[in-house]
Structure 1
Amino acid sequence: MAFSDGLHFQAILSPGFQTIGTVMPGIPLPPSSPLSIEPISMRVPDACRFTGISRSTLYLLIARGEVEVVKMGSSTLVLTESLRGLIERHRAGNLGNL
């Protein structure tokens, strides 16, 4: 949808990150923009896509306490901050093995 002031807004959905606007078509807003939104949590399939790990690996990490989840009714919500922490811990561990 284009507005008279020349701004163009679009929704781009991706696991873990949602951009709800662009200043120019094809150029996403920076993460610091007030129009950028990152979810607090996500469902298991989205968490798998976000990290690139399998569903069974994610459940093993949850069982070991490496990934934090919240149960809301029948939904299992994986905390985004927990996934970022997991990746950072493994990244730091891998840097020591180089």
Structure 2
Amino acid sequence: MAGRSWSPPQPRPVRHHPTDERTGPMPSPNRTEHLRGQDRRPTVEPITMRVPDACRYLGIGRSTLYVLIAKGEVEIIKLGSSTLVLTASLRRLVDGRREPRGGLVEGDD
């Protein structure tokens, strides 16, 4: 290797332009307006949910949910070893415990 001088490798040029050879030009905000709302599918509420999801849904702890299940206020089904909580029973529970607007119960004056 006599006669050759060592030189460090040259760095690749950095691309600061919004065009990249792999992806093409980046879309501007105006060019993507037509895409907004296209993938909006109707939200489908599940028929059942697992216990941790039901706790998050109601904003309560696991032990409180099991107390409500034991009292019969929340319905469950068992599929194998999975405990599935019926979403409709959670809705009924909330609807049954809702207070009228203003927080007054009939008869309170």
TM-score, normalisation: structure 1:
0.63
Shift of 1:92: 4.2
SS at match of 2:98: helix
Shift of 1:36: 1.6
CA RMSD of aligned residues (A): 2.9
Aligned to 1:68: 75
Please point out which of 41, 50, 53 is paired with 1:46: 53
Q: CA, structure 1 residues 76+89, in 2 after alignment: closer, same or farther (shift >3 Å)?
A: same
Where does 1:9-88 land on structure 2 (aligned, <5 Å)? 23=37, 35-88=42-95
Aligned to 1:13: none
Counterpart of 2:71, as a letter, is R
* Residue segments in structure 1 that go unaligned for 5+ positions in a row: 9-22
The structure number with the bigger radius of gyration is: 2
Shift of 1:24: 6.5
Aligned to 2:105: 96
* Residue segments in structure 2 that go unaligned for 5+ positions in a row: 1-31
